[in-house]
Every structure is written in C-alpha cells, then in structure tokens.
Amino acid sequence: MRSIWIKAINLILVLGILLGYDTLVQVHAQQDYIARLSAQLAGSEQTMENMRAGVEELAGVLRRKTAAAETSSVMEEAGTKDTGEDEAVEEHAELPGMADGEYEGEAQGFGGPIAVSVSVEDGRIASVTVLSADGEDPAYLDTAGAVCDAIVEAQSADVDTVSGATFSSAGIRDAAAQALEKAGS
C-alpha cells in the first residue's frame, strides 16, 4: 500500500478546499461591502431629496408663523422657551453615568487571577486591556483577547465568552465588569 500518496493527495485537497473557501468568503465580503456602500449612496441621495422637501416645508411654516406672530401677543414666545428647557434636561439624563478615567478589575481566569484595565472616555468604554494573567497559557489568552473588543463594541461587560478559550475570556469579562462597577455605570 502506498498510503503515503493517498494521504498526501488528501492533505493537498483539504488545504485547497480551505484556501478556496477563504477566497470565496473574502470575495463575498467585498461584494457585500460594495452593495452596502451603494445602498448608502442611494440612501443619502434620497435623504438629500427629503431634506430639501423638509426645508421648503419648514420655510413655509416659518413664513406662516411670522405672519401669525405679528398679530398675536408675547405670551406664546414664553411658552416655546419652556419646552426648550425641558428638552435640555432630558438630554442630560440620557448620558451614561460613567466618570472618565482608568479603572482596574480582577477576576479568576483559567489558572489564576486576571487583572484588566478599562479606560472610560467621554462616558464611553474606550478600551479594555489585560494587565496581567500569569496563570493563562499565551495561546489561550491571545484567543480570549477577542472579548476585549466585544466589550468595547457592546459598551457593556455583558458579552459572550470566546469558544475555545472559555475560562480565560470569562476571566477577562468578569474583571472588566468589576472595573466598570467602579466607574459607576
């Protein structure tokens, strides 16, 4: 039996399939990107159109209002002022309650504690970095690092663990959750 040749051909096939698959996925992603861009372009053209119509409508309303204001009393002006102030208060309440700064947290990983630093800028989670993780295996820690980006993207520590590096990523996530608690979110 020359099984070495069969094995060699199989290996080449597997590698070829993987490379072909990757190229396909890449081409698809590019096509999707182009489609999204053109949709955006079409959308923005539509928005421009809408805006123009809106501006014209607004101009019409303003013209009517000025005509009305000339005849009515000053009381109405005070009324509009009040509603403006209310809106400002509401906007303020929507801001997240995180104070800017660097916060550290620690949690149990796979083989020991993981220390994490979360930086908050403008009330948002700007970045999550692992400070120390002596008990983790480097390859696992590297894979688990994807959870840092996920936290920044979700703006919350309530994210899924990375499969294949469950313990390390759960450690990073829990440490980040602890740090965010300190930030007062």
Q: Name the site residues for another protein (rule: CB under 8 A).
A: 1-5, 7-8, 10-11, 18, 21-22, 25-26, 29, 108, 110-112, 135, 137-140, 142-143, 163-167
Nearest residue (CB) to another protein, 136 versus 185: 136
Beta carbon of residue 6, minimum distance to another protein (angstroms, whole number): 8
- Dig out the tokens for 152 from the structure: 């920044």
Nearest residue (CB) to another protein, 22 versus 76: 22
Beta carbon of residue 7, minimum distance to another protein (angstroms, whole number): 4
Cβ neighbours of residue 149 under 8 Å, at least 6 residues apart? 128
Q: Check: CB of residue 181 under 8 Å from CB of residue 103.
A: no
C-alpha span between 16 and 18 (Å, rounded): 5
Nearest residue (CB) to another protein, 118 versus 162: 162
Beta carbon of residue 42, minimum distance to another protein (angstroms, whole number): 27
Q: Which amino acid is at 69?
A: A
Q: Check: CB of residue 105 under 8 Å from CB of residue 114.
A: no
- Residue 121 parent element (H or E): strand 113-121
Cβ neighbours of residue 143 under 8 Å, at least 6 residues apart? 162, 164, 165, 168, 169
Nearest residue (CB) to another protein, 73 versus 163: 163
C-alpha span between 185 and 96 (Å, rounded): 7
Beta carbon of residue 164, minimum distance to another protein (angstroms, whole number): 5
Nearest residue (CB) to another protein, 25 versus 69: 25
3-class DSSP state of 145 = coil
Q: Phi, psi (5° rounding) for residue 78? A: -60, -40
Beta carbon of residue 148, minimum distance to another protein (angstroms, whole number): 15
Nearest residue (CB) to another protein, 43 versus 112: 112
Beta carbon of residue 151, minimum distance to another protein (angstroms, whole number): 19
